[in-house]
Chains A and B, each alone.
Chain A
Amino acid sequence: MPHNIVLRLTSYAALVVAALLFVAPLLFMFAGSLKPDDQVLLEAGSWRAFLPDTIAWQNYLDVFARVRFGRYLMNSLFITSMIVAAGLIVNSLAGYAFARLQWTGRDILFAGVLTIMIVPLEAIAVPLFYQVTLFGWRDTYIVQILPFLANAFSIYLFYTFFIGLPRELEEAARIDGASVLRTFVSVIVPNSKPVFATVAILTFLMQWGAFLWPLMVTSGEAVRPLPLAVSTFHSLPPLQWGDIFAFGVMMVSPVLIVFLLFQRWFVRGVVATGIKG
């Protein structure tokens, strides 16, 4: 028994130390966003870095005065929600067609989807950049949305979920004479909430942080999303760390709120990426 208590205490000690290390940079940002700009760097080397003396909202006001934060936020919200919503429709339909319908070319096309799954965005970013330049799509919303709607991994996740659903679900609807699409909407979708939630969260997480692609295809601030805006804001003189951290806090708050509210689904989503293995 005493051996067990020692083990527990060591485990707790290790967890607490690890947790402090993991949380410190985030606390640093939250505390810094509430401090006068010059104090952020000055106090970075002491425990005061994680604790504001006073609560000052000035940095937040400064962000709005210096850049069009609202615009970036709307851009990010619009681009991400379009990709999530349209992506759910397009990829779930494809996943359903591959999992449950008989059609010519299905198996070979599905093999194609599985092959495409290993191509990372980075490997095609350059030719895609050239392609959309030819289309005349640079500096638009469409160039940040359209290429990311169809997603091989999302199709795969839908496929594996749908293939596990009992056949009886559809048969009853078919006997009533419902069309394939109607059966999908009224019978399959209501029984597949977990996979829709998983795909939605994974897509949201990926797209909310998208940096490389917007960097390549946007030059003006009109359609620029937050991840790109925070890096340009950081290099916008004068260097004021309080403002930068306030920008960061506002930028991450939507994700953090969604994460804390739907944590169970985040966990499932991440675990789903591990199913492949």
Chain B
Amino acid sequence: MLADHQRLTGLLLAAPALLGLLVFVAIPFLLALTLAFTNLRLGSPLPVEFVGFDQFRRIFSDPAFLRALVNNTVFALLVVPLQTALALALALLLQQRLKGRVLFRTLFFMPVVFPLSLIAVIWILIYAPGPNGMMNHFLTTISFGAWLPRDFLHDPYLALPAIMLTSIWQGTGFQMLILLAGLQTIPDELYEAARIDGAGRMATFLHVTLPQLRNTLIFVVLVTTILAFRLFDQVQIMTHGGPRNATTTVMFEAVQAAFGRQQVAIGAAMSVVLFVVVLVITLLQQHVARHEREIS
């Protein structure tokens, strides 16, 4: 009797959330898979028809989209290791029980609570051209005058690195906090054992800290890599994809197509590519994490 009653209650309690996920995640997802194979354009007089892989052929021969894929990949390849290394270094510094560590942790984490759009706007001014610009002045000072002022966000070679630096500055605190939590789960006995064995700091780091932190590191790398492929806000605000597609990204191209040019089908095809990339990264991470577990 009670079991029957519970049977319905469970479904009823979960129903609102399940309905939400169905209508606003599952259906749009299936819709993306469907629309990508049509020629749908908002406001177009042409009848909507099935066009097979045409849209995919189109986007993969579109130089801007290919450039976007390259940019996202370069972004991931540079930002992920740099940001992870920096976050790990800060986490290790905070791991020592120094006075004031809570204050430092707060300061490093502060950029994370700032909306990305606001951060993008602040950094536009930091990258202001001319010797008076903050970044230009900083680089000139630390290079003893060797740095000549540049217009970062309009420079085809510097615009993407400039966005990367902003992203690292914003995202490091988040990673640092997760790594710090990971560090704190390492049992003291392991460090004690390493000390008794006469292991130095470097040896302890390589043979105790890193292996113990492996799963946390894999997770943090996964999240940052996926974020690299979702990159949009900074690009939209700081460079609008330019100069000459130097900073365009998959998401920026998708929004341009679907929203700017009303080409919903092309935007959907780009979304599908984005999802496949995210899926591959996730499966890869799970594979690596499982593999590591089997070894240990």
Contacts and interface: CB of A to CB of B under 8 A. Distances in A.
Interface of A: 8, 11-12, 14-15, 18-19, 21-23, 25-26, 28-29, 32, 40-42, 44-46, 49, 90-91, 93-94, 96-98, 101-106, 109, 112-113, 116, 118-120, 122-131, 133, 146-150, 152, 155, 180-181, 184, 205, 208-209, 211-212, 215-216, 226-228, 230-231, 234, 241, 244-245, 248, 251-252, 255-256, 259-260, 263, 266-267, 270-271, 273-274, 276-277
Contact of B258 (A29, A126, A252): A126
A26 B110 contact: yes
Interface in B8-57: 8-11, 13-14, 16-21, 24-29, 31-32, 35, 40, 42
Contacts of B18: 94, 109, 113, 150
Contacts of B67: none
28 contacts: A12-B98, A19-B107, A22-B172, A22-B173, A23-B110, A25-B122, A28-B125, A32-B125, A40-B125, A44-B132, A91-B17, A94-B14, A103-B7, A116-B25, A122-B230, A122-B232, A124-B32, A125-B251, A125-B255, A130-B268, A149-B16, A181-B9, A216-B259, A226-B115, A231-B236, A248-B121, A252-B113, A270-B112
A195 to B, nearest CB: 15
Interface stretch (B77-85, B156-164, B174-182, B188-196): B174-182
Contacts of B204: none
User: Of B8, B16, B94, B174, which is in contact with the most chain A CB atoms at under 10 Å from its CB?
Assistant: B16
B58 to A, nearest CB: 15
B134 A49 contact: yes
A212 B274 contact: no
B258 A26 contact: no
B241 interface: no
Given A11-B98, A44-B137, A103-B11, A251 B118 contact: yes
Contact of A29 (B93, B122, B251, B268): B122
Contacts of B270: 126
A91 B24 CA distance: 15
Interface in B212-255: 215-216, 218-220, 222-223, 226, 230, 232-233, 236-237, 251, 254-255
B123 A94 contact: no
B251 to A, nearest CB: 5
B274 to A, nearest CB: 5
A152 B29 CA distance: 14
A25 B28 contact: no
Contacts of A90: 16-17, 20
Contacts of B264: 126-127, 129-130
B128 interface: yes
A92 to B, nearest CB: 9
